[in-house]
Structure 1
Amino acid sequence: MTDVDVWGEDRPLGRGALLLDVGLALGIGLLGLAVGATQSRWSVLAAVLLSVALAVRRVSWPAAFGLSVAGGVAQIVGGDVNVVADLAYAPIAFSFGAHRSAKVRWFGLVSAVAGVVVAGTWAALHQSTDAAGTPEVAVGGTITAALAALVLLGGWLTGFVRWQRREAVRAGIAVRLQSAEERRLQDLVAQEQERTRIAADMHDVVAHSWAVVAAQADGARYLLRSDPDRAEEALGVIGETARTAMTDVRQLLTRLREPGVADAEGDLAFERPEALVGRMRASGMTLDVRRSGKPPDDPALASTARRVFAESLTNALKHGDLTTPVRVEEEWQGQAYRLRVENARAAGQGEGESMGGDGTGARAMDGDGHGLRGMAERVGSAGGAMSAGPTDRGRRWVLCIEIPSATTEDAS
């Protein structure tokens, strides 16, 4: 991005810069005309040509180059050197050295070197016609070449140094702009990831809470006359579940309104394993839970495990047959995690689709598919694999999740 136009060089020349060039050209031109008037008409013509070249040097470099060459030729033909008019060569060469195009810069350098050679050669030959002796010829040519180099090469080199300095500034600005753009894109990605995570959390909270509420409400309705105490207990679970869900939703909305805010309140209430198992059992689910190992210190992995554990039980509650036990096997082995949930399918559940490790077939058992899809995304982001589908001729449903440890992944 070193083509950043910091100084507006890509825009048309401004009125102020143009007036500056015209004023400088008029000053040198008038003085050059005064000198040329004492020499010859060719010297006057050279002064006019060089002043016009100076005026258009930043408008059209080809025109400036052509006029400069013509001014030099006029002096060679007339045999007189207009010293004042030749001062215009310095800012003209400066414009070539400072030009943004590399071709123009190197063309200007070659032209300046050629100008020095021509000036020195002409001076030597001109000196030889007026005086005899080789030393005088050499001295005259050398002095003229040195003065031409001071004007032409000095002007070009000054412009080239200015171009280098501006390029350094452009490069620094380009790096800062690139860094800012990368940070902006990273922020956008982080925001999108955060929104996706919050959307998944919101689905989990709502799906879990309403599954529990629906199960308890159905139970309370049937028990209201036959067993008022159990019906009252079910209503209590409904109230507690609703309050917990509202707390979790408020926490998620806080994260959404204030991106990057620390989760000071800790985990969402619905995903705490002990409370989750208690709510499921209170909803009429018979759970056969076998848990081994201890969650690792990695909070991201532990959070993924808690959430897929909660969603898998919610899925079984919504779509399973609660008259048969739900078998849950959860195992931690260092950083590796394994979860297997098996439940009987409720009457009316079709064969559905199977979900492989790639997360396809998300509509298998979970109505709209968001639950299984969300679990597959969570497991995939942690480097694991998930499979879910019917078994035992469609009578049971099995969900398996495996998240290998880093050392296992490296070995494989």
Structure 2
Amino acid sequence: MIRPLSRTSLVLDIVGAFVLFAVLVPTSLAFYAPGNLSTTVPEAVGIGGLVVAAVLQCGAVAIGRLAPGIALAVAWAGALVQMAAGLGPLPINVAILGVLYAAAAWGTTRVFWAGLVSSFVGGVIAATYITFSNDQFVGVGISSTVASFVLIAFMSILALGSPWLGGFGWRMVLRWRVSREAQTRAELATAEEQERVRIARDMHDVVAHSLAVIVAQSDGARYAAASSPEVAVEALGTISQTARSALSDVRMLLTQLRHRQGDGPQPTIADLEQLFAQVRQAGVEPRVTVDPMPPGEPPGAIQLAVYRILQEALTNAIRHGSGGAVDIRLAWLPDRVEVEVRNAVAVAQVVGAPGGHGLVGMRERAQLVGGSLRAERTGDEFVVHAALPIGATQPSEGRA
């Protein structure tokens, strides 16, 4: 019944209604000068009815946005008072147009349709009142009376329906704004969710691999400390080097988070040798086969995806594998690159649980570049296979 409305808007509506009353009442009194108010109603009754009708109709304008349904009912009451006083159309009826606009623009669904019905019913009642009151068409033929009634009804409905249509248009604008704001909020929420996923994926890729190497080296150093101090010293050196590399990667990641994802250097296939060296230091020997070789310079996004997928697959091999060698195959075909990583696992070892962040991250890396990834256990091996489209490549000779 009552809509939330700011105090400023309510004050403006009330002031506007007072101004409307102050302008339209004298105009209506001048339009219907004493002696012309009605042929059947006393002059005092006519003037009193005009003032009361003006108060009701202008008052309805004052609460049009605050309570459109109540305003529509009050406007109807003013119109009935006006007809009861024997008054025809007056300048004060301009206020009714504002109420119909408010009903269409801000009313509930019921008030909205009530405003439309009021436009038609009000037009018919006005035409009936004008046509058959005060004997204005006495002595004319039936056909002329009907024609006059139809014409007046059409004009009345058009006059009352026009502001309702205007309010309907504004209602659509308001709904479009609400829908647009909701869409904007949804897009922002989606962007934030994608950013959180990217942060989680990058943190996992950067930190998990280095921590896996550090844990493996720490365990080896602890066991070798008593019998082979030199091996422990070498392991500690590897731990220090890996930790520094991880710290550098984290700093690069933080730089990207402060700016944009594309800022700062990203790992490429040229950095794979360093990755393989870290894996060897952790006690796992990568056996790498590249056939065929890249026909040119692969896109940067593909190189990053290949690096991150291999990094996570090798991290899983260090953490869940049974040790020994890991077979890596890279096939740089004209339209795609295929990546396959195989490592032996213990019989009772569960590798790559469905809820693991690593497998999710690898699949997301592949999907981001339009590729696919499959990771599954086959017998005593865990196999990761990815196919990434590369499209056209640039000749390596063109590099600086």
Question: What TM-score comes out, normalization by structure 1 length?
Answer: 0.69
The offset of 1:22, in angstroms, is 4.0
CA gap of 1:63–1:164, structure 2 versus 1, over 3 A, is: closer
Contact 2:102 2:167 in 1 (8 A): yes
Contact 1:336 1:404 in 2 (8 A): yes
Matched residue type, 1:50 = A
Match of 2:398? none
Match of 1:288? 287
The offset of 1:212, in angstroms, is 5.5
Kindly report which structure 2 residues correspond to 1:177-196, keeping only aligned pairs within 5 A, or say none. 177-196=181-200
The offset of 1:303, in angstroms, is 2.9
1:388 has 2:377 as partner? yes
Please, which of 36, 55, 59 is the counterpart of residue 58 of structure 2?
55
CA gap of 1:274–1:159, structure 2 versus 1, over 3 A, is: same
Counterparts of 2:85 and 2:213 in 1: how far apart (Å)? 96
1:11 has 2:10 as partner? no
Kindly report which structure 2 residues correspond to 1:370-381, keeping only aligned pairs within 5 A, or say none. 371=358, 374-375=361-362
The offset of 1:68, in angstroms, is 0.7
Contact 2:17 2:58 in 1 (8 A): yes
The offset of 1:147, in angstroms, is 7.8
Matched residue type, 1:118 = T
Pick which of 56-65 and 278-287 moved more: 278-287
Counterparts of 1:315 and 1:354 in 2: how far apart (Å)? 8
CA gap of 1:309–1:387, structure 2 versus 1, over 3 A, is: same
1:21 has 2:21 as partner? no
RMSD over aligned Cα atoms: 4.2
Contact 2:124 2:157 in 1 (8 A): no
What stretches of structure 1 move > 6 A for 4+ residues in a row?
144-150
Which is higher, the Rg of structure 1 or of structure 2?
Answer: 1
Gaps of 5+ in 2: 64-70, 105-110, 391-400
The offset of 1:328, in angstroms, is 0.6
Match of 1:307? 308
Match of 2:277? 278
Contact 2:268 2:307 in 1 (8 A): no
Give the 3-state SS of the residue equivalent to 1:326 in structure 2. strand
Match of 2:128? 118
The offset of 1:264, in angstroms, is 2.2
Match of 1:267? 267
Would you say how many aligned residue pairs link Structure 1 and Structure 2?
360
CA gap of 1:57–1:284, structure 2 versus 1, over 3 A, is: closer
Contact 2:287 2:327 in 1 (8 A): yes
Gaps of 5+ in 1: 1-7, 76-80, 363-368, 392-397, 408-412
Matched residue type, 1:288 = R
Counterparts of 1:155 and 1:371 in 2: how far apart (Å)? 69
C-alpha distance after superposition, 1:147-199 (max 9, x if no partner): 8876x456525523542552464255335424422331232122222222123
1:44 has 2:44 as partner? no
Kindly report which structure 2 residues correspond to 1:360-375, keeping only aligned pairs within 5 A, or say none. 360=354, 371=358, 374-375=361-362
Contact 1:53 1:64 in 2 (8 A): yes
CA gap of 1:123–1:201, structure 2 versus 1, over 3 A, is: same
Kindly report which structure 2 residues correspond to 1:13-412, keeping only aligned pairs within 5 A, or say none. 14-25=10-21, 28-29=24-25, 35=32, 37-38=34-35, 40-41=41-42, 42-58=45-61, 59=63, 60-75=71-86, 81=87, 86-100=90-104, 101-122=111-132, 125-128=135-138, 138=144, 142=148, 152-153=156-157, 155-160=159-164, 162-167=166-171, 169-171=173-175, 173-174=177-178, 176-211=180-215, 213-214=217-218, 217-218=221-222, 221=225, 224=228, 228=230, 233-256=234-257, 258-267=258-267, 272-294=271-293, 297-318=298-319, 320=321, 322=323, 325-332=324-331, 334=333, 335-343=336-344, 345=346, 351-353=348-350, 355=352, 359-360=353-354, 371=358, 374-375=361-362, 382-388=371-377, 391=380, 398-404=381-387
Contact 2:320 2:349 in 1 (8 A): no
The offset of 1:331, in angstroms, is 3.3
Match of 2:396? none
Contact 1:339 1:400 in 2 (8 A): yes
C-alpha distance after superposition, 1:278-312 (max 9, x if no partner): 23334444443333334683544443332332333
Counterparts of 1:127 and 1:283 in 2: how far apart (Å)? 108
Question: What TM-score comes out, normalization by structure 2 length?
Answer: 0.71
The offset of 1:273, in angstroms, is 2.0
The offset of 1:134, in angstroms, is 5.2
Identity over the aligned pairs, expressed in percent?
16
The offset of 1:82, in angstroms, is 6.0
Give the 3-state SS of the residue equivalent to 1:247 in structure 2. helix
C-alpha distance after superposition, 1:357-410 (max 9, x if no partner): xx53x6xxxxxx65566556656775321013762xxxxxx2201224679xxx
The offset of 1:244, in angstroms, is 1.7
The offset of 1:237, in angstroms, is 3.4
The offset of 1:47, in angstroms, is 1.4
Counterparts of 1:46 and 1:149 in 2: how far apart (Å)? 26
CA gap of 1:20–1:148, structure 2 versus 1, over 3 A, is: farther
Give the 3-state SS of the residue equivalent to 1:99 in structure 2. helix
